[in-house]
Amino acid sequence: MKPSYGSSVVRHASLALLFLLLAPYAAYAQDGPSSEMFTVNNTWMLVATFLVFIMHLGFACLESGMTQAKNTVNILFKNTSVISIGLITYAFVGFNLMYPGDFSIGQFFGFAGVGLDPGAEGNTVAYADGAYTYWTDFIFQAMFAATAATIVSGAVAERIKLGSFLAFTTLYVALIYPIAGSWKWGGGWLDQMGFYDFAGSTLVHSVGGWGALAGVILLGPRLGKYANGRIKAIAGHNMPLATIGVFLLWLGWFGFNGGSVLSADPELVSLVFVTTSLAAAAGVLGAMAASWGIQRKPDLTMILNGSLAGLVGITAGADVVSVNAAMLIGFVAGLIVVASVIFIDRAHLDDPVGAISVHLTCGIWGTLAVGIFSADHSFVTQLIGVAAYGVFSFAAAFIIFYGVKAAAGLRVGENEERSGLDVGEHGMEAYSGFRLVD
C-alpha cells in the first residue's frame, strides 16, 4: 500500500526537526565546534574552575583541623595567601613559562613573555579548537598552580616562619611548578617521550610533595614530637573540621579531574567522574583495612587521608583506565598511604597532616599505575617521568628553602612554637575567650 500524503508530510517534518536539532553537532564535526558547543565547553571549564577553587577551602579546613588550635589562624592565613600568590605569579610569569609555545633550551625551558595577552583569536572559537577561551584557559590552570604550594603548607605546619614560607611559595609557584609543568602539559621533552599524567598525580601532587619533603627535612620536627626514641602523637584539634575539608576536596576533585578533559565531552567527563569517585571510595576502604589491622583501632585520620590517597592516585589516569582498575588503584593507594604515614613517622620526618604520604607517595603510585593498567602507555616512560620530576622538584625546593633559611631563618623560636603561632606571628587567636587570665 502506498503511503498517504499526510504521512509523507509528517515524515518530512520529522526530518526537518531532526536536522535542526543536530545542526550544531554537524557543524562541530565538519567545520569545528558551533557557537553553541563553544559556549557549553567554556561554561563547563568555568564550572570546573570554581570547583578547583573550592579545594583551597578544603585544604584550609583539613590542615587547620588536623593541627593544634593554637596555630589555626596561621594555617588559615597561609592558605589564603597561597591562592593569592599563586594567581598573581601565574598571571605575571607562570602561565607563559608553562605554555611557552616555543622552547628556547631544547624541550626543557621556554618563556612566552611577561603578562597575559589573548591575542586576536584568544576569545574566539579558533582558540583551543573551541573548547574554551584564553581567559578560561588561564584561570583554570592558575587554580592548579597554587595547589602545589598548599601541599607544602600542611607538611611544614606549626613551626615555620610565616614570611619564610611565603617567600618559598612565591618562588616555587612562580618558577618551579610552571617549568616542571611545561615538560608535559606545555609540550616539552616528557610529552615528546610519551609520558602521561592526565590531571597531575605527578605534575601537581608529587611536585608539591617533593617540596614538602625538602621543607620537613630542613625544618626538623615539632617540639616534643620525638623524645627518648619514642614517637608522640600530637592530635589535631578539630576532627569535624578536618572531615569537612576532605569532603570539600572530594567535591573539588570533580572539577580538578573532570575539567582536565578540557571540554564538555559527555562520555569522557562522565567516565572521569566515575573513576575519580570510585577510586576515592576504594581508598577509604584500603586505608580502613590497613589502619584497623595495624593499629587495632579504626582511625578517622587514616580514612580521611585514604580518600585523598585514592583521589591523588587516580588523577594521572582517570581518563584512560577502566572502572575496575580505578577501584584497584584507589584501594592500593589507601593501603600505601597508611604504610607511608607510619614509615615517615618512624623516620622522624614530622608531617602533621600526612601531606607527603598522600601527595608524594600516592602521586608516584598513581603515575606508575598508568603504565600498569593502560596498554597505551609505557611503565618505563612513566618511571622516567617520576624520577625526572623528583630530582628537579626536590633539588629546587631544597635550594629555595636552604636559601631562605640562610637569609631569614625557617623556624620560629621555641617559646613562640610552644605558645602557638597565632599569638606569636599574628597577635590573635582563632578561638578567643578560652585562655585563662592570671
* Per-residue pLDDT tens over the stretch 183-198: 999 999 999 999 999 9
Instruction: Calculate the average pLDDT of the chain.
Output: 91
Q: Are 211 and 172 in contact (CB under 8 A)?
A: yes
**Could you tell me which residues come within 8 angstroms of residue 434 by beta carbon, excluding any fewer than 6 positions away?**
none
- Number of continuous H segments (helices) and E segments (strands) in the chain: 18, 2
Overall average pLDDT of the 364-393 stretch: 97
Domain positions in the chain: 38-424
Residue 99's CB: how many other CB atoms inside 10 A? Answer: 18
- pTM for the structure as a whole: 0.90
Run of H or E residues at 231:
strand 230-231
Q: Over 90: is that where the pLDDT of 244 sits?
A: yes
Q: What's the pLDDT score for residue 390?
A: 98
Three-state SS at 150: helix
Fold of 38-424: Ammonium transporter fold (1.10.3430)
Three-state SS at 269: helix
CA neighbor of 238 nearest in space, from 395, 51, 82, 69 = 69
**How much helix, strand and coil, in percent to the nearest 5, is found in the chain?**
70, 0, 25
Here the cell at position 401 is 628553602
Q: Over 60: is that where the pLDDT of 360 sits?
A: yes
The CA distance from 233 to 416, in Å, is: 20
Q: What's the pLDDT score for residue 88?
A: 96
- Residue 67: which region, alpha, beta or left (left: phi > 0; alpha: psi -120 to 50)? beta
CA–centroid distance for 62 within its chain = 14
Q: Convert the pLDDT of each residue in 25-68 to its tens digit.
A: 444 444 567 888 999 999 999 999 999 999 999 999 999 999 99
b (16+ CB within 10 A) / e for 310-331? bbbbbbbbbbbbeeebbbbbbb
Here the cell at position 405 is 633559611
HSE at residue 179, side-chain half, CA atoms within 13 A, is 16
